[in-house]
Structure 1
Amino acid sequence: MQYAKLGRTGLDISPIAIGCMGFGDPSHGYPSWSLDEDASRRLIRHALEAGINFFDTANLYSNGSSEEILGRSLKDFAHRENVVIATKLSAPMRDGPNSIGLSRKAIMTEVDMSLRRLGTDYIDLYQIHRRDRTTPWEETLEALNDVVKAGKVRYLG
């Protein structure tokens, strides 16, 4: 497999990414048509064997179980330094006034929860899934910069 740079970074990614929206428990969460864990693991292993190293998920996919399945699968089938994990935030993950959006509080909470679900100590690409019109961009961008400086995230999108 030939690899390409991610945008204007030095990060090498496969030209094909595996979107993980369809991994999770089909009985709950979003989307309802998700593959169960066994089927998801087979797909992830096949992708790795084909040289695909780029996996894209989000905190909200199947209420976080997509991240959990991806993390367990990559731990079993790959070396962490050989894969690129992208995940996203901004969706509500629990009840409460600060459980949604791109506030500093939400970002700091969600990055730690995604790291726990993925079973890793860093995320390669952390992406804003949806714009938050109620939080100033300065607050959002400063918090995102801080998660990079803390070593929890390598790149932002």
Structure 2
Amino acid sequence: MASRTGVSTPGRCRKRAAVRSSNHALEGGINFFDTANSYSDGSSEEIVGQALRDFARREEVVVATKVYHQVGDLAEGLSRAQILRSIDDSLRRLNMEYVDLLQIHRWDYNTPIEETLEALNDVVRAGKARYIGASSMHAAQFAQALALQEQHGWAPFVTMQDHYNLIYREEEREMLPLCYQHGVAVIPWSPLARGAVNPSVG
């Protein structure tokens, strides 16, 4: 959505264009905005935040962001320290008091999942995120996380964002049935397969 620096003239032009595009989306009835801490090194969150401040009422839109990837000096991962710092950084860039949905972008093989889930629960309890979700993991991993959340009484994952479209349908094998069983909403990424499903918008 924006240049990595965001300081050059072309970067500023692209940022203005992105804000205008967000406004067009709002005018078209779109009210769900999904971004991530790592998109354009944080610039995406800044653009979403600016667009919604300029053109929308906060309570009328749903804002989602993600945590996991490295941004600046914040290392990749889902440790407690990384999650707590990442949500604060995201809220600062968005200029918001909370996000509606905080998603873990990947499964962190270097951090105990219990540590990740407890930290996410604390983020919800602190009012910095209303709900939590997950993205791009194996069904067995997601099932493990859901079971631990239920066991400990932690805030549950309410969404799964995975690669799914008419061309790539692997998620129908295990992930979608698991989500259906647990009442988890599915947010597909690349729903048009990067334009292959509908070349006119690719």
TM-score class, shorter-chain normalisation, is: 0.7 to 0.9
Whole-angstrom distance in 2 between the partners of 1:78 and 1:120? 13
Whole-angstrom distance in 1 between the partners of 2:39 and 2:70? 11
Is 1:134 the counterpart of 2:106 in the alignment? Answer: no
Give the letter aligned to residue 51 of structure 1.
Answer: G
**Cα offset, 1:62, TM superposition:** 0.6
Is 1:104 the counterpart of 2:80 in the alignment? Answer: yes
Whole-angstrom distance in 1 between the partners of 2:71 and 2:63? 20
Structure 2: runs of 5+ lacking an equivalent: 7-12, 134-202
Q: Contact conserved, 1:26 with 1:36, CA < 8 A, in 2?
A: no
Is 1:37 the counterpart of 2:15 in the alignment? Answer: yes
Q: Which residue of 1 is the match for residue 25 of structure 2? A: 47
Summarize the alignment of residues 3-152 of structure 1 with structure 2, pairs less than 5 Å apart.
23-25=1-3, 36-95=14-73, 99-152=75-128
Whole-angstrom distance in 2 between the partners of 1:80 and 1:27? 27
Larger Rg over CA atoms: 2
Structure 1: runs of 5+ lacking an equivalent: 1-22, 29-34
Whole-angstrom distance in 1 between the partners of 2:53 and 2:116? 31
Give the letter aligned to residue 56 of structure 2.
Answer: A
Structure-2 change in CA distance of 1:116 and 1:26 (3 Å): closer
Q: Name whichever structure is richer in helix by fraction.
A: 2
Whole-angstrom distance in 1 between the partners of 2:55 and 2:69? 29
Q: TM-score, normalised by structure 1?
A: 0.77
Whole-angstrom distance in 2 between the partners of 1:100 and 1:27? 20
**Cα offset, 1:41, TM superposition:** 1.1
Whole-angstrom distance in 2 between the partners of 1:56 and 1:92? 18
Q: Contact conserved, 1:127 with 1:156, CA < 8 A, in 2?
A: yes
**Cα offset, 1:26, TM superposition:** 5.7
Over 4 Å off, 4+ runs:
none
